[in-house]
Amino acid sequence: MKRLKSFLFLLVILIVILFILDYFTTKKLYHVNTKQNWVLNLKNRNIDYVVVGSSKTESGIDVKEIQNLTGLKGINISISGIGIQEQYLLFSEFIQFNKTKTLLLMVDFTTLNPNEFSYPFHEYLYFHRMDNRNINSIIYENSSTKKYLIWKYLPFIRYAEYNSEFKQLIFNKQKLNIDSYGFLKPTEFIINDENHKKNVFDAKLHSIKNTIPGNGKIIIVKQAQDYFLKILDLCSTKNIEVILFSPAENTNASVKFEKKIRPQTRNYFKAISKKRKILYWDFTNSSFSLNPTNFTNDHVHLNPIGVKKFNPIIADSLTRYYGK
């Protein structure tokens, strides 16, 4: 009995300490420099369009530049390496506190198969917001129930599990590397550099080896498709017009990929756009994408020159769209 009492006493003290640690970590994490926090802290914006996507658009759509060209106000909430479930989370939270007329949703084969990303849903970056019902349910849907129960009901354990990641965030004093519109400037690239050639060449290998899953047959993960459709439904209820778009890519660097996966992806989104009566802009098929020499860092990411060339095309499309 004496041992039981000591054991329970230790347990109670430990739980109290964990609650205290949990409280302070939660508070601190609201202020760490992540783009996720930046997006979730955006309030009272009234804009023409919001860009949602992954790295291709985070560093491919320069909203400020487009504003200079068109006068349209926008914001880019794309984040590198995130899957459609995280895009849904960010967008659904964004429109709760902000107004937008249009959603510019980046689509490609990763939209339907986010497992192509090494870590498609960064649940730990939202742990401090688990009291938010929407975020909580998305975390629940994207993790094992066993883990979720521990994260939700045991204090501090969720932060302990990712302590290395949080250590980097909490002690990182560097500012976010994005402009006030959410655009991340792509890395400067010396054209004709050996590295560039190598990267494009490696990208070619990469696309042959890795990005043709399922023997060249497009993989559709049901949960991802559901999130994609949930975004469309959400826009429909909020009267937000949707434009699906596939950004420009280096199609030369992914010949086999182009032949096998891209047409299927294109057909899928074309069919959806037809069914839902929404626009689909496919820039992978544009003359820009077909002549991409020196415009990209690798097979999918535009370099600064590529961004400068691509953004007027987007601006032109938006002008025509708003002048409809």
Closer residue to another protein in complex, CB, 143/285: 143
Distance of CA 158 to the CA centre of its chain: 22
Distance, CA of 218 to chain centre? 20
> Which tokens hold the place of 108?
């490609």
Round to whole Å and give the CA distance between 171 and 168: 6
Stretch that binds another protein, among 2-10, 237-245, 252-260, 261-269 (CB under 8 A): 2-10
Name which of 10 and 176 has its Cβ closer to another protein: 10
The site map against another protein for 15-54 (x = CB under 8 A) is --xx--x---------------------------------
Binding residue for another protein, selected from 24, 44, 88, 165, defined by CB under 8 A: 165
* Integer Cα distance of 235 and 278 in angstroms: 11
User: Is residue 201 close enough to count as binding another protein by CB under 8 A?
Assistant: no
Q: Least separation, in Å, of the C-beta of 140 and another protein?
A: 15
Q: Residues near 310 by Cβ (< 8 Å), separated by ≥ 6?
A: 60, 247, 248, 283, 288, 295, 302
**Cα–Cα nearest to 257, from 212, 293, 205, 300:** 212
CB closer to another protein, 116 vs 161: 161
Per rule CB under 8 A, is residue 205 in the interface with another protein? no
- Binding piece for another protein, criterion CB under 8 A, among 131-139, 149-157, 238-246, 279-287: 149-157
* Residue 86 or 249 with smaller CB distance to another protein: 86
Cα–Cα distance, 62 to 103 (Å, whole number): 15
Nearer to another protein, 154 or 176 (CB): 154
SS3 318: helix
Rg from Cα positions in the chain: 22
Q: How far is the CB of 206 from another protein (least distance, A)?
A: 21
Q: Could you give phi then psi for residue 278, rounded to 5 degrees?
A: -125, 165
Q: Which residues sit at the interface with another protein, rule CB under 8 A?
A: 3-4, 6-7, 9-10, 13-14, 17-18, 21, 124, 144, 146-147, 150, 156-157, 160-165, 167
